[in-house]
Structure 1
Amino acid sequence: MAAPPSPALTTHAEAITHLSLDPVMAAVIARVGDLPVLPPTPDPFTTLVRSVTGQQLSVKAAASIYARVQTLLGAVTPETLLAADPEALRGAGLSWAKVRTVQAIAGAAQSGAVEFAHLGTQDDEAVIAALLPLPGIGRWTAEMFLMFGLSRPDVFSLGDLALRQGLARLYPETPPAEVLAAWAPYRTLAARYVWADKALARAGGAPV
């Protein structure tokens, strides 16, 4: 029987203490400051659809397109997505690839191929395995969903270019596997700090 998933963090105190045992990460945390605790989504289906619509877009552009999709559909549900004219979804701002993906997500939800209501009870790899068969869903998308949708505490996506660059910048002499092993079981928060530190560096608030 698979182990139950690790629960979402309700506070970062213990995670910060653990991550700060690493002096490099301790300096990152000091530079960045507190990050908000992320609660798990009450609606995994809609969260995944919204995540897909916003991929490779700025936050502002993603919000604008999702708002147009909501206006078009009235409510974002498997039924409304499957009933929508693909041309209308394209007109709302989705690329053809994203139209295919969100309608595939809707089809999987409606058929029960992916039981979104039960994803929160499955371990990380089971969630990834459930999502990967959907067109347009790769491991990176599934890992982002685990991190920001289900608020899993121990996910670090090596498929994310910014995270790989962050590791190379912060730990030029240390193998990534060694760094990640030291951060477990709080690698999600570590990833968020690596992202935040990179953003701070770009803004001129920290050395690159």
Structure 2
Amino acid sequence: MEKSSAPLIKFPLLTIPSSLETIVHGPALSEGIAHLISVDPRFKVLAEKHTCPLFAEYDRNITPFPDIVRGILAQQVSGAAARSILNRFVNLFSSGSDSSMNTGAILVDDQGTRETSTAEARKNVFPTPEMVLEKDTSTLRSAGLSLRKAEYVSGLANHFVDGTLSAELLSNGTDLEITERLVAVRGIGEWSAHMYLIFTLQRPDIFPVGDLGIQRGMAAWVGHDIAKLKNKGKGKWKYLSEKEMLEISDPWKPWRSLAS
């Protein structure tokens, strides 16, 4: 699973408590890798061949609303199409004045934060939930969003505005609390919630059993012939059942995100 690149965004950041900082980087990351190797030595080869850049450093700057919107826009489209739609979506809220800059926000990208000029920032302002609700569905669709995605994004924004969702909860809540709140939002399923927990919050013990790539990888891991399984499949099918995947991955706790 790879996190797609995206344009710079300007949005208020929420800092994670220092008590959580060692969960997935530094000594803790080494501990996680050591645990996986202890329960299955084959992980040693994987760890040596494949680095884990996502968890190599802990990003304490969390932007829940932009990241979740990004996930919605990326549903069922290619990475290139998702980036194009995201750019056009952000441009809907570009301002020619400096008033939008007086929010105390900073610009961030997938690599962290950096300073930028006011002129550049005006071109990369990610809308707040309140700004999204000011746009009607037809305006959102002009950025390339399908009708459903426009409705999903507006619905998400409404959940932030009415307090059902908050940056605090979506940054510091438990895995279960965050998942339950997110899947209650139309357009966000368990898979999307798990992607948010892994890629945005860098939580160490998330195992997305609904991810086709994870299903395929686990089937190969236990020795199944992937090609035969795929050829036998008709309609909606899975390489392994969720029950099987959870049973196999149980010894990997609490480091299943690393394993996946």
Deviation at 1:34, TM superposition (A): 4.2
Unpaired segments ≥5 residues, structure 2: 1-18, 95-125, 225-239
Contact 2:204–2:255 (8 Å) recurs in 1: yes
| Structure 2 residue identity aligned to 1:163 | I
Deviation at 1:41, TM superposition (A): 4.6
Give the match's secondary structure for 1:64: helix
Give RMSD over aligned pairs: 2.2
Give the match's secondary structure for 1:73: coil
Q: Write out per-residue CA displacement over residues 170-203 of structure 1, whole angstroms, 9 at most, x where no aligned residue.
A: 1137943343112111111111xxxxxxxxxxxx
Where does residue 57 of structure 1 map in the other structure?
77
Give the alignment's TM-score, normalised by structure 2.
0.66
C-alpha change, 1:183 and 1:13, in structure 2 (3 Å) is same
Where does residue 53 of structure 2 map in the other structure?
35
Deviation at 1:40, TM superposition (A): 5.1
Where does residue 155 of structure 2 map in the other structure?
104
Larger Rg: 2
Identical counterparts, % of pairs: 33
Where does residue 113 of structure 1 map in the other structure?
164
Deviation at 1:6, TM superposition (A): 6.8
- Distance in 1, Cα, partners of 2:60 & 2:255: 16
Q: In structure 1, which of residues 20, 28, 45 is the aligned counterpart of residue 37 of structure 2?
A: 20
Unpaired segments ≥5 residues, structure 1: 192-208
| Structure 2 residue identity aligned to 1:190 | A
Where does residue 7 of structure 2 map in the other structure?
none
* Greater percentage in helix: 1
Determine if the alignment matches structure 1 residue 67 to structure 2 residue 136: no
Where does residue 254 of structure 2 map in the other structure?
185
| Structure 2 residue identity aligned to 1:28 | L
| Structure 1 residue identity aligned to 2:43 | M
Give the alignment's TM-score, normalised by structure 1.
0.81
| Structure 2 residue identity aligned to 1:184 | K
- Ranked by relative contact order (alpha carbons within 8 Å, sequence separation 6 or more), the top structure is 1
Contact 1:140–1:157 (8 Å) recurs in 2: yes
Q: Across the two proteins, how many residue pairs are aligned to each other? A: 187
Deviation at 1:100, TM superposition (A): 1.0
Q: In structure 2, which of residues 222, 226, 251 is the aligned counterpart of residue 171 of structure 1?
A: 222
Give the match's secondary structure for 1:144: helix
C-alpha change, 1:39 and 1:92, in structure 2 (3 Å) is same
C-alpha change, 1:9 and 1:121, in structure 2 (3 Å) is same
* Greater percentage in strand: 2
